[in-house]
Amino acid sequence: MKGFRKGVLSLVMMVVFLTATSTVYAGQPDLKAPPPEQSKAYKEIGIESLQYLQDWNCNLIPSGGGKINLTGYTRAYQNVDYIMVKLYLQRWNGSSWVDLGGWPFEEYNASEAEGLKGLEVLKGYYYRVRAEHSLTHDGTTEPAKSYSDSYYVDIE
């Protein structure tokens, strides 16, 4: 009977120990792990946004050594009163994409707005570009969004 109690006590202590240690190690997400979804480029648009808006997109271009370029454009079928693209740099924090900064590029009485922003970023993280696109003509505003592929900036 004494051996049985020792065995049960050992088993209970092992379960408590394993539970406690697994909780400690589960606290910090793996930042190197790729984002589970939305790591590929895609576009969004509302049904009301196709009267003047022709095309829109954004991209992240790595330059090496922790340097990247954010690019994006918004195109209309014709000259419009106002057209813009706003580029946002996003970093994956292990559970969601977080905006780090935004840069607008605007034009008036034009059919295209485009932007390029060069940045140096911290190594060891995934990054992507999120862009907001919009144009206004004769009182009609047409918005859209785009997202680039994600890119891991290697520590080297």
Please tell me what DSSP assigns to residue 36.
S
State which H helix or E strand residue 114 sits in: strand 97-120
Residue carrying structure tokens 């092992």: 14
pLDDT at 32: 57
Residue-range domain boundaries for the chain = 42-153
Residues of the chain with pLDDT under 70: 1-39, 48-49, 156
Residue carrying structure tokens 């390029």: 116
pLDDT at 12: 41
Q: Domain 42-153 belongs to what architecture?
A: Sandwich (2.60)
pLDDT at 41: 75
- pLDDT tens digits for 122-143? 999 999 999 999 999 999 999 9
- pLDDT tens digits for 8-28? 444 444 443 333 333 332 333
Kindly state the tokens that stand for 30: 């793996």
Kindly state the tokens that stand for 99: 């905006």
pLDDT at 19: 38
